[in-house]
Structure 1
């Protein structure tokens, strides 16, 4: 497994397992199987509603001797409703309690809305106390990331954003490298949008190495130095996704993949009024 060093000197695995949209009754088993397959980075969030089950899968793997807590890198996130100084403190404590952890390896502000500056002060305090080892942001555009870095004494270690062949974020990566903030990719497979898994360019590249389209995409992200999250409830697919360290894409392969870049989200724009309205409505629904 490749290891990435963050700007605070700590290290994290470059390839991880995400539990977004995994049903609660499948999460604990999926997390356990992912750890069994070799994943050490596990990513959840308070809004996913499966932190408890994520913790159960982790504890089972530790109890059975598959891994130690110190070998794992656990991420969770603060949703919009909790994006304030006081609520962030309580939410961190809640995540620790729900997952039955003594510390969280990476804690992110999940969306660029709400009192993110107040929340950040609480994340910094939690990091200083040891409850959280690394802290970061998610879904912040490069412009907001730069503002956040320049106006805070502690800069984010991570910005978790959408990166996939349709939305490659080449310029964004340059800005993040300039400011020392590591990019972590969510939705590297774009959830299969635009027939990603049967794309002829990616399929042809994969056939050269006896690899699937998913493996080609994850290898592409590894070679770009981007942390990536893959998701599946099928153990065989988990094993396939992590089996990407025995081949290397050529410059020609990388050029072909670069030609697929549409420079737009496969999902939505976080700055679009209708999308912001949707997030605000979801926040209010969650509060009820």
Structure 2
């Protein structure tokens, strides 16, 4: 789904199921897309439809359970979770980190269903394949002079669209002290060619993964070593499983202007070499921190002795 948000995905999969009503995978993805937009009433109808197709019936049944759980209908949620288990659903690891299931975790029926799903998984879990192609935004702060670059930094990120539900999530207790994927679809990356300081935190030259977390009234940026993340096979979908790294407390304020999609910028101060700021805008929220690039002597392109050409 190149460059599309979930609303666009809904339109795409509606066309696919209209063209081929027997396309079970498209029914599943239509339900998933509706679910992601927050339209749970429409999503559950499509999830139930998807359970008619054996190839996707296990996960579709689980998705029905998720909607019932989110709606506070525990009995219906447990019934559908048990159906998913009976159909061979193998998503025990996903369930462990899925907030949709939080309201059920202490219930005996949930624990029994989860045990059955763990048995389905066994030593060789079935793997589901997901693919996505998406645009990335890039903000770059670089210094040139003396015939070359004295250093720079860039941030690349996916750009989710703002929804008022994010305000509710940000204030929810379940999202406090929990790292979030700082963007969309993939890790947000910081690529620094020279050492830099963000806030009062020193960051070595290199490539880093970024997450965001709310702690009380503070928003905290975590700067993670990709090698440590990869060692534990942590996907950005479960960014909350990351630990360690360096942290920066960002200044937070609200604005009357609502920005429709996440914007992350590295801005340079034209009057002060290497100084700038990190600026984040999402809906009415604004986050910021001062930035300092610790510049080096500009690297110049070598010239040949004979021709003087590069």
Considering the TM-score relative to the shorter chain, is it more than 0.5?
no
Question: Which has the higher Rg, Structure 1 or Structure 2?
Answer: 2
Higher share in helix: 1
Q: TM-score range by the shorter chain?
A: 0.3 to 0.5
TM normalised by structure 1 equals 0.32
Higher share in strand: 2
TM normalised by structure 2 equals 0.30
